[in-house]
Amino acid sequence: MNPMRHLLAAMFTLAASTPVIAESAARFVSWSGTEINIASGEFSDILSTPGTGFSTADMNTVNAALQKDGIETQGRISILLADTAAGLSVLTMFDGVQYPDTPGKPTVVTSQATVPQSATWQYNIDAGGTFDVFPVGNNTMLSGAFNWIPGVNSEAMSVSSLEEGNNGSFYMNAVDQGGLSTQEPIQFLTMQAGMWSYAETLGFQDSDSGGPDFEYLTFEITAIPAPSGLLLLAFAGYGLKRRRRH
């Protein structure tokens, strides 16, 4: 057999038989129908303590990394997907102290998340608030009231141990928008080329009933095929096409 043909055949066999490793992603759909796709990053050292605690140190780690990549966190609610010590996690960060010398107004946001029974969760309400857990059919509802003062403190919630195909929902009420940004304060962050960046921003929806403004989101965990496997297939195919022209 021609050595080049043998090499190309071996490459094609490797590409076809090697599983394509996938990175995690999440697909969100907002109340208005906006579809948002975010890719996961990594915070392997956070959420390592057994239990449901989301420590201040963990919050500071996440916020410092976001700020380093140019993400504005103060006055915002940041939603991102990350591999953590508690598994694949959707992190909801309520504010992030960047300018401690300019505290904002007291802010209150409630968040109810419906998640699979297999999920775990972590939260921080050190600045004030409540957190409760209820079984709802085959799912679990996480219900938190998060109170904080922008520029002084922040709070967080995480839904963890997620797997591909898991889905759920988030419902947030801006009870007192206080120090939240007036320009679409809900921001979805994605990992791109090793850095966190903005995928989409949303504002709260006006309530027709006269209650607090709200946002409703559904989510599903999906997968992104690894580029290396696709490139290997493409290269093998390119070599075979060249061979046929001779």
- Whether 78 and 184 have beta carbons less than 8 Å apart is answered as no
Report the distance separating Cα 178 and Cα 2, nearest Å. Answer: 73
Report the distance separating Cα 1 and Cα 67, nearest Å. Answer: 57
pTM of model > 0.95 = no
pLDDT of 226: 55
Element housing 36 (H / E): strand 35-39
pLDDT of 168: 97
pLDDT of 210: 79
pLDDT of 29: 98
Give pLDDT tens digits for 5-47. Answer: 443 333 333 334 334 445 899 999 999 999 999 999 999 999 9
CA nearest neighbour of 184 among 13, 49, 30: 30
The secondary structure of residue 227, as a DSSP letter, is H
Give pLDDT tens digits for 80-95. Answer: 999 999 999 999 999 9
Mean pLDDT of the chain: 86
Report the distance separating Cα 208 and Cα 146, nearest Å. Answer: 23
pLDDT of 43: 98
Q: Which residues of the chain register pLDDT less than 50?
A: 3-21, 228-246
pLDDT of 2: 52
Q: What is the DSSP string of 126-142?
A: TTSEEEEEEEETTEEEE
The structural domains of the chain, with segments of one domain joined by +, span 1-19+228-246, 22-225
pLDDT of 227: 55
Q: Who's near 35: CB < 8 A, 6+ residues apart?
A: 27, 28, 29
The secondary structure of residue 207, as a DSSP letter, is P
